[in-house]
């Protein structure tokens, strides 16, 4: 461009002739000038000889360029690399200064501990198998006493209350072909149980295997004598009427009832607060796909008292009937349906006559014999054994191994002979 090649202008050195022709300064603007003022102007403007003037150099011809403080800090625009670097340094320095000032002069933050509350884990339910039934229960249940209640089975007593809620039920003939039940409770506490009837020796022996307290209303002469002789935990209504009550809807003696709450209170007052016994060995339920015992018949004394069971595959239990009709629990209005049905062959003889002229039954409940165990739709044959009054009944298979039972209610019936037990697929 033209500006890039513009020649440098140098000052022109004056010649002597130019100096000699220098004009005089003008006189002050006055109308009159004295001779002295005119002479002064002449003296000032008279040029000096050329020899007396100093030599002119390039330095004189190019005077130094002075830079003011404003020019030193004037920034180029648009900014270049130096300007950007300078700006960055200024920002960093200013930020550091401000940070130091705030840190050392401002209010110090108060450290606050943030409390983190961890959710408490929900405790897993802790259960153990019931010693009586094998069902899962709170551990405290096994510390309760087992309570045995004698329950009538005449046609005047039906439907009974509480049988379907018992953990174990024993069934046998009391006298004159009339059957009776011993119902054992620990897991459950029905508020209505009955009708309650009298004691018999073999029921007492079965109850003793569970270290159970024994609730009854009187008993046979042998039965009452055995309770005292054997040290049974006695809850006889004759001596403890406050734990029993009569209902108005039935005639005596078929109207005596009780409850587990009332009996537990009576047991506590007597110090019967727990029961030490060995329960039946248990196993998980395993319903068979090919049941061989869907229908069971147990002969006791005749059509009114014989027991019948139908296998219910949906519940893996056995719906009970007697006298040709479903056996109902009055508390629930449901058909009784135990998980396990046991038929024990127990020798029986006639005992003394009762007040009505009927023979009491004498079962050899201490001893051993054949047994039929029905569960999972199948039947297993083996042996039962009870070596003493206080010993628990044991059940073994044909090879002598313990028979394990399904959890739930176990119903045990004493029959006189093997041919009193029949079943079909």
Q: Say what the pLDDT of residue 8 is.
A: 46
Sign of CA dihedral 309, 312, 316, 321: negative
Q: Say what the pLDDT of residue 5 is.
A: 42
Q: Which residues of 164-189 are buried (b: 16+ CB within 10 A; e: fewer)?
A: bbbbbbbbbbbbeebbbbbbbbbbbb
Cβ-based neighbours of 230, under 8 Å, separated by 6 or more: 204, 208, 389
Whether the predicted pLDDT of 417 surpasses 50: yes
Element holding 224 (H helix, E strand): helix 221-230
pLDDT in tens, 280-330: 999 999 999 999 999 999 999 999 999 999 999 999 999 999 999 999 999
**Which of 113-122, 268-277, 304-313 shows the lowest per-residue confidence on average (mean pLDDT)?**
113-122
Torsion of CA 376, 377, 383, 387, to 10 degrees: 50
Average pLDDT of 362-377?
A: 98
pLDDT tier, 124 (very low <50, low <70, confident <90, very high otherwise): confident
Rounded distance between C-alpha atoms, residue 101 and residue 117, angstroms: 38
Q: Say what the pLDDT of residue 103 is.
A: 59
Average pLDDT of 209-223?
A: 97
Average pLDDT of 191-206?
A: 98
Average pLDDT of 229-239?
A: 98
**Which of 202-216, 251-265, 342-356 shows the lowest per-residue confidence on average (mean pLDDT)?**
342-356
Whether the predicted pLDDT of 249 surpasses 60: yes
pLDDT tier, 63 (very low <50, low <70, confident <90, very high otherwise): very low
Residue scoring higher pLDDT (329 or 47): 329
Whether the predicted pLDDT of 56 surpasses 60: no
Measuring CA to CA, which residue among 173, 231, 190 is closest to residue 358? 173
Beta bridge partners of residue 329, listed in sequence order: 334
Rounded distance between C-alpha atoms, residue 128 and residue 130, angstroms: 6
Whether the predicted pLDDT of 51 surpasses 60: no
Whether the predicted pLDDT of 386 surpasses 70: yes
Average pLDDT of 112-120?
A: 70
DSSP string, 165-206: G-SEEEEEEEETTEEEEEEEESS---S-BB-B--B-HHHHHH
The percentage of the chain sitting over the pLDDT mark of 90, rounded to a whole number, equals 68
Whether the predicted pLDDT of 153 surpasses 90: yes
pLDDT tier, 20 (very low <50, low <70, confident <90, very high otherwise): very low
Q: Is the peptide bond before 195 cis (omega within 30 degrees of 0)?
A: yes
Element holding 91 (H helix, E strand): helix 81-105
Whether the predicted pLDDT of 19 surpasses 50: no
List the end-to-end C-alpha distance of the chain, in Å, as a whole number. Answer: 121
pLDDT tier, 217 (very low <50, low <70, confident <90, very high otherwise): very high
The percentage of the chain sitting over the pLDDT mark of 70, rounded to a whole number, equals 73
Whether the predicted pLDDT of 26 surpasses 60: no
Whether the predicted pLDDT of 47 surpasses 60: no
Residues for the chain: how many in total?
425
Q: Characterize the bridge pairing of strands 421-424 and 168-175.
A: unpaired
Rounded distance between C-alpha atoms, residue 48 and residue 57, angstroms: 19
Q: What is the pTM for the complete model shown?
A: 0.72
Residue scoring higher pLDDT (389 or 12): 389
Domains and their CATH numbers in the chain:
128-270 (3.50.90.10), 295-424 (3.50.90.10)
């Amino acid at each position: 461009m033209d500006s890039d090649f513009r020649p440098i202008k140098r000052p022109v050195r004056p010649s002597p002739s130019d100096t000699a022709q220098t004009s005089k300064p003008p006189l002050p603007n006055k109308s009159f000038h004295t001779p002295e003022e005119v002479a002064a102007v002449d003296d000032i403007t008279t040029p000096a000889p050329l020899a007396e003037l100093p030599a002119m150099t390039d330095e004189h011809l190019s005077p130094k360029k002075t830079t003011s403080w404003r020019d030193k800090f004037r920034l180029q625009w648009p900014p270049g690399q130096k300007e950007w670097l300078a700006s960055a340094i200024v920002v960093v320095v200013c930020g550091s200064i401000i940070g130091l000032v705030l840190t050392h002069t401002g209010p110090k933050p108060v450290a606050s501990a943030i409390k983190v509350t961890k959710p408490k884990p929900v405790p897993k339910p802790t259960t153990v198998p019931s010693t009586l039934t094998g069902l899962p229960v709170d551990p405290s249940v096994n510390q309760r006493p087992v309570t045995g209640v004698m329950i009538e089975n005449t046609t005047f007593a039906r439907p009974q209350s509480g049988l379907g809620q018992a953990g174990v039920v024993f069934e046998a003939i009391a006298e004159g072909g009339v059957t009776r039940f011993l119902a054992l409770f620990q897991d459950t506490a029905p508020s209505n149980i009955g009708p309650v009837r009298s004691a018999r020796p073999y029921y007492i022996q079965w109850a003793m295997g569970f270290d159970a307290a024994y609730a009854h209303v009187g008993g046979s002469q042998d039965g009452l004598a055995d309770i005292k002789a054997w040290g049974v935990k006695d809850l006889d209504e004759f001596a403890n009427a406050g734990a029993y009550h009569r209902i108005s809807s039935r005639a005596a003696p078929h109207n005596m009832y009780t409850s587990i709450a009332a009996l537990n209170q009576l047991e506590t007052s007597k110090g019967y607060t727990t029961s030490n016994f060995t329960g039946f060995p248990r196993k998980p339920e395993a319903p068979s796909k090919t049941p061989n015992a869907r229908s069971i018949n147990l002969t006791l004394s005749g059509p009114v008292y014989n027991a019948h069971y139908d296998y219910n595959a949906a519940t893996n239990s056995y719906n009970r009937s007697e006298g040709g009709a479903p056996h109902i629990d009055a508390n629930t209005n449901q058909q009784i349906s135990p998980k396990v049905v046991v038929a024990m062959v127990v020798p029986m003889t006639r005992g003394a006559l009762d007040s009505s002229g009927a023979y009491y039954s004498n079962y050899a409940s201490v001893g051993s014999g054949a047994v039929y165990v029905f569960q999972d739709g199948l039947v297993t044959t083996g042996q039962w054994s009870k070596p003493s009054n206080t010993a628990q009944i044991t059940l073994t298979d044909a090879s002598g191994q313990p028979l394990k039972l399904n959890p739930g209610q176990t119903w045990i019936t004493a029959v006189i002979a093997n041919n009193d037990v029949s079943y079909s697929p």
